[in-house]
Amino acid sequence: MVNLWRCEICGDPYIGDESPANCPFCGAKRKFIKEFKDANASFDVELNDKDRANAEHALEVEIGNSAFYFCAAEKVKEAEGQKLFKALGKVEAEHAAIWKKILKLDSIPKGTDKCSVEYKEDLKDSHAREARAINFYKKAASESSNPRIKQIFNALVEVETDHLKLSEERL
């Protein structure tokens, strides 16, 4: 039976027979994908100063990573690299959209991070970026007393860990 599903991390809907293993938009794990009527995906969150600063930094991280991945998708010659970086760019852009909603922004600034034309160099850069994001998100989750902010940061740690594994398998 076809259902309407919703990711509790990014809020995006998905139509399918069953929930996907990962959100096709933000990459969140299946445990965050619920039938639409049961999903709690609120972005109306009161932020204290620390959570606001961490959300703003997370937005910057995701904008930069998205710009980097889209740059790499355009420049590398390898077909696998083009597709991998394009997919990662879309996911990172979705992460930026999460923080846009939390921060109640009208738009997301465009990123300008540079990349290499060499697939392996971009994989190394990707690995470093994902490791930094994971470390920051773990710290931000531990600093937050807001359950929703903590949930988002922890979910993104899992997603970025998957991204880290993608680069590790190819290096």
> Residue 45: pLDDT above 90?
yes
- 77-131 confidence digits (pLDDT tens): 999 999 999 999 999 999 999 999 999 999 998 888 899 999 999 999 999 999 9
CATH code 3.20.20.140 for 3-38: no
Same fold, 3-38 and 49-170: no
Per-residue burial over 135-171, b if 16 or more Cβ lie within 10 Å, else e, is ebbeebbeebebebbbbbbbbbbbbbeebbebbeeee
Q: pTM for this structure?
A: 0.95
Question: For the chain, what are the domain ranges?
Answer: 3-38, 49-170
Which residue is it, tokens 């490791």? 131
User: Which pLDDT does position 42 carry in this prediction?
Assistant: 94
Q: How many angstroms separate the CA atoms of 16 and 74, rounded?
A: 31
User: Which pLDDT does position 47 carry in this prediction?
Assistant: 96
Give me the helices (H) in the chain, please. 49-75, 79-103, 119-143, 147-170
- 9-19 confidence digits (pLDDT tens): 999 999 999 99
Q: What CATH number has the domain spanning 49-170? A: 1.20.1260.10
User: Which pLDDT does position 111 carry in this prediction?
Assistant: 87
User: Which pLDDT does position 112 carry in this prediction?
Assistant: 86
Q: Is 55 exposed, middle or buried (0-12, 13-18, 19+ CB in 10 A)?
A: buried
